Amino acid sequence: MRRPLAAIALLAAIGWSTASLADQPLALSPAKTAAAANLVDIRTLVPDIAEDIRYAGHDNFVGTPVDGYLAPKCLLLRPVAEALARVERELRARQLRLKIWDCYRPARAVAHFVRWAHDLADQRTKPQHYPTLDKSKLLGDYIAPVSGHSRGATIDLTLERCAADGTRCEPLDMGTDFDFFDVRAHTDAPDVTASQHANRLLLRDAMQREGFRNYPMEWWHYTLVPEPTPHTLYDVPVQ
């Protein structure tokens, strides 16, 4: 597949060589708005879904609002949002709910992550997010130069247990927080408790029933399979 020059320029700017791009069937969408990209706000389907969109604020591994996040919203391609809404409805019948940390991620946000990862002097978030890793090791398994989130079909989330009337929801103990760069965040990590592992599997089972696949290195990370647009990246701002 031929890539538009704009796509090549963007991907090269975030660390890909043109030689690498030749092997990657990726194109940057020309869409300028969420509507043009078929991205919808999950709250149009589940108005009261729990959200804590970390990259729109300071509570994240970069330590500052991330480029492209102009509002704390969860945008997803419509088929993905519809599948996630089905997961939420099934969980609510069991007094459980999802809590969302991130959804669609603009390509410019990924470029921000890569710039941050190359700035080895900035260690402000090390204690919370990568206490056992040298920052120089984050690029690759933990911070990808091109993220599946930018294709609009990937979600970062956790589970909450709620009272019978749907109030007083509390997060389940998963063993680590979101964006904890360590082997303990692997879904089947051996050094978490049996209860924490069971909670991770509870989330995985619920997501799998609607076609979401877990990324084994991050218990919170799920992608709808097959993806609606597997070869298209989007750079529409979240607003």
Q: Can 51 be counted among the known catalytic residues?
A: no
**From CA 183, how far away is CA 180, in angstroms rounded?**
9
Phi-psi region of 68 (alpha: psi -120 to 50; beta: other; left: phi over 0): left
Give the list of residues 6+ apart from residue 107 with CB closer than 8 angstroms, or none: 10, 11, 14, 28, 68, 146, 147, 150, 233, 234, 235
* Structure tokens given for 155: 């979600």
* Structure tokens given for 66: 């991330």
CB atoms within 10 A of CB 222: 26
Residue with tokens 């130069």: 145
Residue with tokens 């760069």: 181
Q: Evaluate whether 219 touches 210 at the Cβ level (below 8 Å).
A: no
Which of 51, 88, 210, 218 does the annotation list as catalytic? 218
CB atoms within 10 A of CB 64: 14
Question: Looking at the annotation, which residues are catalytic?
Answer: 218
